Amino acid sequence: MKPFDYFSPTDAADAVRGVAGNPGAVFLGGGTNLVDHLKLGVVGPDLVVGLAGLLPAGIEELGDGTLRIGAGVSNSGLAADPRVRERFPVLSQALLSGASGQLRNMATVGGNPLQRTRCVYFQDVTTPCNKREPGSGCSATGGWTRYHAVLGASEHCIAVHPSDMAVAMAALDARVRTLGPVGERTIPFVELHRLPGDAPERDTVLEHGELITAIELPALPLARRSAYRKVRDRASYAFALVSVAAAIDVEDGVIVDARVAFGGVAHAPWRAYRAEEALRGAPASDRSYRAAAEAELADARPAEGLDGGNAFKIPLLCRTLTATLRDLAGEDPR
């Protein structure tokens, strides 16, 4: 591991100054992703700025019903919060589908959406990878693509974003609060992550030294009827092949409103606006759910690969969305 200095800031502003003032500095949240990358040589910072104890570690309810979740809240703490379980079951389920109990105890709400891709070539420093080393090439293209993108990829990178929590946040119209070198800002969660384009080394729109301080969940009554379904190669401790976060409001057999996002298919959590549009006003039936999936996946482009490629993700996602919505549209839990 490359040696680095460690800095313990006094508060969040001090942490921002510590990273913003040094191009080779990084924040350390729970460390469950960053420390692996330090060991593997995927990243080699000069300075690591610790966030332990600096960020809000509680969940505050605002006057309009918004839940403001401090970036220091653990993934376990968020999943277990009674308000989250009751009002946003999709979020609790997404968190509990990820990693293991021990990892969720360490992982933070600020660090989770900023975890890096699990593309095997990104983590193998002996192989070319445009995300790790811009301009070096993409080893996944024509390589092992089972876990790679079918939506929004580019010739420079076909990796997918790995976070389960982020898929639920994208579906729930969440907002990200940050503190950066020029002050605070709020970013719609769906705009946090980038598609790779010709700059796959940039995962998000955050500036260097911009700290996530909280994530806000606005009140969304239909999210009481929501769910996360994750399809993976083994039942636990595995990343998604595909996943669906969905919330639905059905009255008299007709879909009044819906929120849908996909995971495991793109460089960002994929908010399925076309599917939502197709669902609104449609009968709550398998035919409608399939039509919604097909509308969203019309532009999907599978990758060929040494392992047979990932074309299977398209029908798999269609079936996963259908099954999720069918379950949700059953008995009304309210």
Ligand X SMILES: Cc1cc2nc3c(=O)[nH]c(=O)nc-3n(C[C@H](O)[C@H](O)[C@H](O)COP(=O)(O)OP(=O)(O)OC[C@H]3O[C@@H](n4cnc5c(N)ncnc54)[C@H](O)[C@@H]3O)c2cc1C
Binding residue (CB under 6 A) for ligand X from 56, 111, 196, 302: 111
Pick the closer one to ligand SF4 by CB: 92 or 145. Answer: 145
Question: For residue 223, which phi and psi values (nearest 5 degrees)?
Answer: -70, -10
Contact pattern for ligand X over residues 261 through 300, marking x by CB under 6 A: ----------------------------------------
Percentage helix, strand, coil, to 5, in the chain? 30, 20, 50
Length of the chain: 334
> Which lies closer to ligand SF4 via its Cβ, residue 19 or residue 140?
140
The yes or no reply on residue 29 touching ligand X (CB under 6 A) is yes
Tokens of 18: 């510590």
User: In angstroms, what is the minimal distance from the CB of 287 to ligand X?
Assistant: 32
What does the block give as tokens for 132?
A: 């790790």
Kindly indicate which of the ranges 25-33, 251-259, 273-281, 283-291 contains the residues binding ligand X, using the contact rule CB under 6 A.
25-33
Query: Residue 105, SS3?
Result: helix
Q: How far is the CB of 123 from ligand SF4 (least distance, A)?
A: 9
Query: In which residue are the tokens 């769910």 written?
Result: 227
Based on its alpha-carbon atoms, the radius of gyration of the chain, rounded to whole angstroms, reads 20
Q: How far is the CB of 268 from ligand SF4 (least distance, A)?
A: 13
Site string for ligand SF4, 105-134 (x = CB under 6 A): ------------x-x-xx------xxx---
SS in 3 state form for 237-281? CCCCCEEEEEEEEEECCEEEEEEEEEECCCCCCEECHHHHHHHCC
Decide if residue 159 touches ligand SF4 (CB under 6 A): yes
Are 48 and 125 spatial neighbours (Cβ–Cβ below 8 Å)? no
C-alpha 278, offset from chain centre: 24
Interaction site with ligand SF4 (CB under 6 A):
117, 119, 121-122, 129-131, 138-140, 157-159, 200
Interaction site with ligand X (CB under 6 A):
26-34, 51, 55, 71, 75, 98-99, 103, 106-108, 110-112, 114-115, 162-165, 211-212, 237, 239
